[in-house]
Structure 1
């Protein structure tokens, strides 16, 4: 057989009519090759035979042109060493007509010819190249509505419809060249399989390949919704639930079946490719008017990990725009949008059917008291996973009102894991996604809900009213970051070596299952945070909200922005965290432009501040990235009320507090890793002059309170101080009441009321400070750490570790704050205040030198300047340094 190289292969001249058709079609078709240089995939010197999915004259024209433009051998030339007149054949072929009789043409025939050509010729080979051709996969913003109807789908359309698709959507044509398959190697691997059976087997493999590529490009081939509904209702668990409901309620099985069918129709999506493409067309204009841009990072890594997996997207949930944005970006990037679990409250008139056809399936807020609904929903989820449909759901259960990630709710996760255990054919891959905003559409309603206002019910009128006011504001940029994916199988392997045996009994609930689900949920939230985006608004919120009046002199703000950016760059939280490229001056200008901060002109230097209501809204964006500054904030907090501490003390106390921070902020380190991060942070502060070392690096010391470096350290510390105040409220309330007095719910309520009152007395514009969910999480973490537990009567008991936490709080919190909390907190007979005062030093320790103390004139001058620039805290700390109210000049005796 003659070997023909790619470069030297002769191009057979096409018939005149083929050439004419190509010329007529050329203005209407624009081809994008994937990959751009497919010639690099081929092996030189080996004949090439192309395989296309569907027979068609237009596909042959497109393939010939794509090969010509890429410098590949022509599909029209005879295949060397065979009797074939063309180097291409199709798997799906239309039936032809010969002398009035229908003639069926099988794809196995050309495969059989190729196999036969290699018989007795061990040195010969043929490389088979599967080529997928898609016309009009994704109409863009310039496409018309009519174009959507003729975009690519799963149906083998007629010639006239294909012609219309080329005329309308031909400029969006994708030709995908797959890796070539060596026919000789495949034949050798098949062993002694007879040629006819081998041809059938190879045809099946190629059909599977084309289905997989088509599913990845335009979505899975879903049957009509009624077919899916019927499959679910025929499933054995659902039939058993119908029978049980009929027996329990003493109704006929037919009536119970109709009720189940109604439930299923309420749940099921009705995915429609034309509707998805139409929605994409509309959303392109909507996003362009609403946002200044949508950025997406690390998508290539996510796409590379997805093939062969059942992909479950698990994004952070901060706005109703989340699922629309993610689906839109996936579709525009060439990936099929997922089916999305949505609350049944969004199944509104007009809106619900559109969402359903876009892939939304609806679920009730609770399954309690309705066993049949629970079984049906579980079975529907299992059907989606079994069919390989990508899914998306929010494990937080609802939108975050504070900007923090919420504690995960494991219901949908549990259904996913159990469905995989039942039929572990395709491995499950959870894909965390971080979605970051610069302004939220729901911002004001979130602040109102946290302040006690009832949540507004979703209605069509409310939605239309909200949409009408959207375009009156600027919402800035949106960033979608893809986190590190999580494979389910390795977690199951770690939990149980014989987990596959659990699939034998669909109703089994092995002991290790709950732990796996909890671990998956925790890893998802951690990996979402590891993919955070730090935008200009996040940085401004992190810094300005750390000042008492939410105001700073421009020079101080510029310096603090530079310090914070340097900290995030030199000590990266993760390789998937992205940071704004703007310089400090650009960040301030952008914050003013977006309306988040205002400039107050002053002869001694301009002041930037945040007004009252804006400060509440801005706290949301501080909380988005609070976890990135957790290690730095802890180190800085150790020097709020102390001039000197040892490295060992910072580390030891950090290990004590870390589990609570980790539970609240979903931090990525283990305790050892957190200790390493603390050491790196201390070294950074030393390099920047915020801390000084003595005693061969064992002791750390900050500058006096009036120094700029001490001020910068204080700003970093105060980003996290409210968390420690909440912790102190909880442990002080429990210690003040004593053991066996409060239940967990009563303690949670006491903490919430105390925080609300403290917020009113201290003008804390941060509604999340008294968020009940944060107190609930802290109390749960105390239980996990065996610091507290529930006695036989349901009351909370605790050990001496709780009293140690109360005493250790003096390292971080000022005496004034601790006493204010203890005074406000309702309690029983135990006098915690007296216990704590006894721990204070009998007399202040004098400064190490006279230079550490400020004169009264200097203090007065410092105080006036601070009032001008919103630095009240600086004046307070300068006074604290002069009298050494709380700190010591040596290491704390901890």
Structure 2
């Protein structure tokens, strides 16, 4: 192992300025070095001069290098380089100007490299060893690191001397010095042949920069500073260059202006990820979450972590609150996983907030790409660059936050772009990671209820955000993040039966099978999100209490119902990723009271638990989160609402007819045969629990009389899904009453919404989601997909005879009173054409309905207050 003698070391040190020795002595207590490899001298050739190359110029790097060489027994970088005119055996690829906040100025190191090459040309028998040395101060702070340590940790940004000094003071004890294998300059020069020294020096400098970037990426992670890397790649991509040319021709722009326009769009979109900002925000969010929530739980994350290596991971959570992306990113960061880049609506690019989100990994997209071909191409290319670089991504395929608590019909735009980006360069397999996010109370709850009732959505603004800070004074319980079963893209593509790899490399490829693959992928994502549901105490209370006419239940009945619901979910597992609260029924009730969702009314014959009208509307959100888990039980129970006995075959036959519509609304995972098997298991569960009696060798099922406890429990379960069947009947009634070739799909949708609104007023249904047009739209679409509905040449709807069979079967589920009420108020017939209103009129009607329901709520509160005062007087 070559070493330098004490005399040589002393001589080399004596050639250094006195202030350099003094600075080294001052710095030494603050820096603790770790060499990689531990014995770098073993890599050197004895007797060959050594010249070190460092990435960035600076006194601190020179001091650290000199100390690392001294401790490792290497030649000093401060001594003259033998055989050359260089006074030091080290040079930097980049020079820094300024003092306190100096900016980096790249100066091509042609001069030192040229000197070295020329010295070898003059002395053909000599060689020089080039040793690249990478120095990192505070390269990867852990979760326990202080906030300032994180701010001044090593990253890809070249900082000034003042920031470097702070980094040394805060993170100097975590300094790594990486010695790369030496390169024989003589060998490189000989391989270059007749290349001129100046050109050779430039080429060698590029190779060294590439080497340093690769080492830095391995040590501290990839460069995610998009403003310097991804934007340039986007603008240089062939599709973007073609779009710029098209914009020049179409808008009569010069190339400079068209390119500037494209760059402005790219900068509007691109994230500007900063690890120090992410860590700084994580400190702030830690206190924020502790104030808002009692705890944040992650389930099945170990399975998600195990599946991720080697894949481009795309997180696809459900979207229920503005806090979704903050929660998921925070939890991933705390678990030691790279924070994904998140697709956020451009409406969130607010002053102050937008730049912070952007540095946390958010990239912004407009709500619509229509009419802006250049923007569409730039955004597609940006997403393709992220995927090609292996950057984890997160987006919400629902397109917006759910206002009802159900999963929304997916919007396939981002999925299409992701699949096409993978087809262009299928180097790293893509894995979609569904995530279920479950809350016990929402910050946006009241605004959601208002929007469902017809009130306009409030536009995001900084002032609105400041006004909304009052919600921080409230308490929001626990949050659960459940990671669903991941979905790999490649098997879906293989299942198409076509050679999908033939489309690789073509950015404009739109194969015929693309839409079917994307639709299948979207459904699988929603299904797997639902298969990872978390059932919390509030979900269970909502399922039970909202199924009663006045949203009230005797305490004993509620205890029994909660125990039944927990047993149903536990004994008939929907999926192995569903999680269920460990609280017992009494604990659930106490927790609901503590959270303010339910109120206890004392009574000598037994306490009653009640949820007020406004709270009931908000609770419907949490019932809908887990409605899919009880869908099969609710269907079986619905069959016994108006019937004492039914055959098992009839339940299965009717279930097979209704299943496609329930499946489309709730994203259920089974095929028709699987649903029948689930129904069989549910029937057996009810028989074991004594809620149904099986006779005739299991062919006939019978419930107890109406006053029986078992009949009451079945009724509560049935009413969790009965509103869906009422909506279906409203749609069918509107079709039949108006006749074929009369209504368009939009007119039918409006007619159904109006009928549901009026039914809500007449029956005091307090859930605005009952007349949510999106639910009617989904049902109408399912009817069209099943060919029960068709469209004529004028855009009017015609229907099949199967619709009449559905009307007949509805008698099994819906009571005569409900059916007659719906038929009576449904607009239609020759004298009721005016019942089909426009979009604006329907929205206004929804707002009026909301106001009337609110007036009733106020009146009920006054009555309850008067009753309470009367009770006090009687005491």
Q: 1:260 to 1:557 in 2, by over 3 A?
A: same
The match for 1:713 is: 714
The match for 1:507 is: 508
Q: CA deviation at 1:174?
A: 13
Alignment partner of 1:97 is 2:77: yes
Q: CA deviation at 1:497?
A: 3.4
Alignment partner of 1:391 is 2:431: no
Q: 1:281 to 1:660 in 2, by over 3 A?
A: same
Q: Is the 8 A contact 1:136 1:150 kept in 2?
A: no
Deviation by residue 1:722-760 (Cα, 9 ceiling, x = unmatched): 000001111111111111111111111111111111111
Q: CA deviation at 1:237?
A: 1.1
The match for 1:316 is: 318
Deviation by residue 1:198-239 (Cα, 9 ceiling, x = unmatched): xxxxxx999989956854xxxx32245143222212211112
The match for 2:3 is: none
Q: CA deviation at 1:269?
A: 0.9
Q: 1:740 to 1:136 in 2, by over 3 A?
A: same
Cα distance in 1 for residues equivalent to 2:171 and 2:572: 49
Q: Is the 8 A contact 1:139 1:277 kept in 2?
A: no
Q: CA deviation at 1:485?
A: 0.6
The match for 2:339 is: 337
Cα distance in 2 for residues equivalent to 1:653 and 1:214: 60
Once the two structures are superposed, the pairs formed by residues 15-414 of structure 1 within 5 Å of their partners are: 58-60=33-35, 97=77, 99-101=79-81, 137=140, 140=143, 143-144=146-147, 146-153=148-155, 168=170, 211=217, 214-215=220-221, 220-414=222-416
Cα distance in 2 for residues equivalent to 1:149 and 1:254: 37
Cα distance in 1 for residues equivalent to 2:226 and 2:345: 22
Alignment partner of 1:579 is 2:580: yes
Q: Is the 8 A contact 2:437 2:480 kept in 1?
A: yes
Moved more, 253-262 or 780-789: 253-262
Cα distance in 2 for residues equivalent to 1:466 and 1:141: 32
The match for 1:725 is: 726
Q: CA deviation at 1:824?
A: 0.6
Where does the alignment leave 5 or more consecutive residues of structure 1 unmatched? Answer: 1-24, 29-55, 65-74, 84-89, 106-131, 176-203, 832-867, 869-894
Deviation by residue 1:546-567 (Cα, 9 ceiling, x = unmatched): 0000000000000000010011
Once the two structures are superposed, the pairs formed by residues 805-824 of structure 1 within 5 Å of their partners are: 805-824=806-825
Cα distance in 1 for residues equivalent to 2:149 and 2:212: 30
Task: Indicate the SS of the match to 2:426.
Answer: coil
Q: CA deviation at 1:240?
A: 1.4
Task: Indicate the SS of the match to 1:440.
Answer: coil
Q: CA deviation at 1:670?
A: 1.2
The match for 1:883 is: none
The match for 1:678 is: 679
Cα distance in 1 for residues equivalent to 2:759 and 2:40: 84
Q: 1:76 to 1:360 in 2, by over 3 A?
A: same
Q: CA deviation at 1:504?
A: 3.8
Q: Is the 8 A contact 1:541 1:622 kept in 2?
A: yes
Cα distance in 2 for residues equivalent to 1:100 and 1:685: 90
Q: Is the 8 A contact 1:529 1:666 kept in 2?
A: yes
The match for 1:537 is: 538
Deviation by residue 1:297-347 (Cα, 9 ceiling, x = unmatched): 111111111111111110100000000111111111101111111111111
Deviation by residue 1:832-879 (Cα, 9 ceiling, x = unmatched): xxxxxxxxxxxxxxxxxxxxxxxxxxxxxxxxxxxx9xxxxxxxxxxx
Deviation by residue 1:380-403 (Cα, 9 ceiling, x = unmatched): 111111111111110000000000
Q: 1:592 to 1:161 in 2, by over 3 A?
A: same
Task: Indicate the SS of the match to 1:97.
Answer: coil
Task: Indicate the SS of the match to 1:495.
Answer: coil
Cα distance in 1 for residues equivalent to 2:172 and 2:381: 40
Q: Is the 8 A contact 1:729 1:754 kept in 2?
A: yes
Cα distance in 2 for residues equivalent to 1:174 and 1:681: 62
Q: 1:289 to 1:830 in 2, by over 3 A?
A: same
Cα distance in 1 for residues equivalent to 2:729 and 2:717: 20
Where does the alignment leave 5 or more consecutive residues of structure 2 unmatched? Answer: 1-26, 47-52, 56-60, 67-75, 82-87, 92-134, 177-209, 833-863, 865-875
The match for 1:442 is: 444
The match for 1:801 is: 802
Moved more, 93-102 or 377-386: 93-102
Task: Indicate the SS of the match to 1:225.
Answer: coil
Q: Is the 8 A contact 1:423 1:503 kept in 2?
A: yes
Q: 1:224 to 1:624 in 2, by over 3 A?
A: closer
Q: Is the 8 A contact 2:139 2:219 kept in 1?
A: no
Q: CA deviation at 1:830?
A: 12
Q: Is the 8 A contact 1:434 1:481 kept in 2?
A: yes
Q: 1:136 to 1:422 in 2, by over 3 A?
A: closer
Q: Is the 8 A contact 1:140 1:281 kept in 2?
A: no
Cα distance in 2 for residues equivalent to 1:133 and 1:539: 53
The match for 2:655 is: 654
TM-score by length of 1: 0.74
Deviation by residue 1:339-359 (Cα, 9 ceiling, x = unmatched): 111111111111111111111
The match for 1:776 is: 777
Task: Indicate the SS of the match to 2:369.
Answer: coil
Cα distance in 1 for residues equivalent to 2:529 and 2:420: 23
Q: Is the 8 A contact 1:403 1:624 kept in 2?
A: yes
Cα distance in 1 for residues equivalent to 2:330 and 2:675: 37
TM-score by length of 2: 0.76
Q: 1:209 to 1:688 in 2, by over 3 A?
A: farther
**How many residue pairs get matched?**
707
Cα distance in 2 for residues equivalent to 1:135 and 1:497: 50
Q: CA deviation at 1:250?
A: 2.3
Q: Is the 8 A contact 1:495 1:512 kept in 2?
A: yes
Cα distance in 1 for residues equivalent to 2:813 and 2:771: 20
